[in-house]
Structure 1
């Protein structure tokens, strides 16, 4: 039993309001869940994705107001690739220019065109034109035409001092396969490719990265169910890599581990999903809390900064 790709990616942000504006208005993602950091309920945990928040489309944030920006470097996930249809790259280049969002000119890598940019906190983003994104429905945010909309992740890049041990975890535990090298990257693909199926490893001779605003906290990989998750955890332990106990995150169940290159990984179950506590039609419109935090709803809501 192996992963079929990325489940979600979680990062830090310095402003909840600015984070919502950028990812919903500029990139056109749907805010599919407003909840709190279960370990720090005074802080939002915001989930963005496609229309339903399916695994492989979800980027989440812990926005700590006034938190400084982090430091890019080794031992971290860095570039986050968002997939759009292959023919939409020119449209996105025009949109970013029209909205005065600084970005690089389109480039090619692994036969895919992409545009590199940064979010307001300096997180590294790429809009990637793929062959498969056009077959998936696009979320209509009222501004970006669905045919050009982001479908979810194309993949992520890991910056590492050495890639060999991390590659072994990807192939031996998570079920990825080597898919070539280009521009100093080793590419690994889950399954037949598609949504959230790519991880690139970059050997980078930089200082160690530091988590804060604009930096990825962890990358979560998919497990179909608890049995698949436990099989992967056992495989990790057989390699001498310890994992946490399973944690209930309400919308999925998780185990965490630090892969050999220093990046925090999670294995998250596909079930039960984001519609467990609100209809798909109204995802992300109201604060949702796990049962054990409901008695403190009034205090929690009062402490959270406004999103709009």
Structure 2
């Protein structure tokens, strides 16, 4: 069974700090360095396991002039990450040795990245990554992050967001908790202010859920239209095909296919080493490279 959460996408200001944190500290691989397909000036980094498997991927849009974020009326927050059973002590020591402040609660470690993104690591009953998915790093293969576990929807009326997920996907809400499988889930949390949210450093732009293939995505698109949800667009990103919807609380939700994956424009063994462009953007490489925001 494929993982329910395909990826999460956020905003960062400093490319170098972001890349150091997610590769050197968390041990993920930079599997794709490309551009935001809706704004080619903006770099787009993808981190994940060695192959960038759906369910392992965290992405960041790099925006050098990005200001402070304001999480108010509606926003997405928090990245839960799974680690193998018996690896918590290793990660506790690693964070301590690397001077990353954290709070420990039972089998969970809570901490933040440089953009003040809330993250946590939690042990789950799951086998370590397969050898071919392990990243070549200082972190032992049997201690490496397994993938995404959870995220949070902060909305004014959680019951309306819950109804969206139930009507479109049949996902049941229990006291603000939507269980996706034995380990993975999303939480619906009420916000208590009418102040407008402002995107900024560390804002989560969207959470993407996995869809098996393009046929299944097209069927979901048809169902969403019939149910009259707020559809933004359906578009092929090259690495996957995506459907974007604004759930009733105002947060962006993406549904993304499992294939074709990140090797359509570069080999597996050199993923993320140079600026990659999917085939439909490659013809514009010179123009795109000339206008990209400089990395900081």
Give TM-score, length-normalised by structure 2: 0.90
* Correspondence 1:72 to 2:71: yes
Q: Is the 8 A contact 1:189 1:198 kept in 2?
A: yes
Change (3 A) 1:74 1:148: farther
Change (3 A) 1:304 1:133: farther
Partner of 1:163: 158
Partner of 1:139: 134
Q: 1:154 aligns with which of 130, 149, 155?
A: 149
Partner of 1:81: 80
Partner of 1:57: 56
1:306 Cα deviation from its structure 2 partner: 6.8
Partner of 1:31: 30
Q: In structure 1, list runs of 5 or more residues that go unmatched.
A: none
Whole-angstrom distance in 2 between the partners of 1:238 and 1:4 = 26
Whole-angstrom distance in 2 between the partners of 1:193 and 1:274 = 27
Q: Is the 8 A contact 2:264 2:278 kept in 1?
A: no
The alignment's C-alpha RMSD in Å is 2.2
Q: 2:110 aligns with which of 87, 106, 116?
A: 116
Partner of 1:214: 202
Partner of 1:244: 232
How many positions carry a matched residue from both structures?
Answer: 293
Q: How does 1:1-308 map to 2 (within 5 A)?
A: 5-104=4-103, 106-108=104-106, 113-132=107-126, 134=128, 139-178=134-173, 180-181=174-175, 186-190=176-180, 192-194=181-183, 197-206=184-193, 207-304=195-292
Q: Is the 8 A contact 2:239 2:278 kept in 1?
A: no
Q: Is the 8 A contact 1:29 1:141 kept in 2?
A: no
Farther-moved stretch of structure 1 (55-64 vs 167-176): 167-176
1:135 Cα deviation from its structure 2 partner: 6.2
The superposition leaves residues 204-246 of structure 1 with CA deviations (integer Å, 9 ceiling, x where unpaired) of 3244432121010011111111221122223323332131342
1:275 Cα deviation from its structure 2 partner: 1.5
Residue 271 of structure 1 aligns to a residue whose secondary structure is: strand
1:146 Cα deviation from its structure 2 partner: 1.4
Q: In structure 2, list runs of 5 or more residues that go unmatched.
A: none
Give TM-score, length-normalised by structure 1: 0.87
Residue 201 of structure 1 aligns to a residue whose secondary structure is: strand
Whole-angstrom distance in 1 between the partners of 2:3 and 2:223 = 16
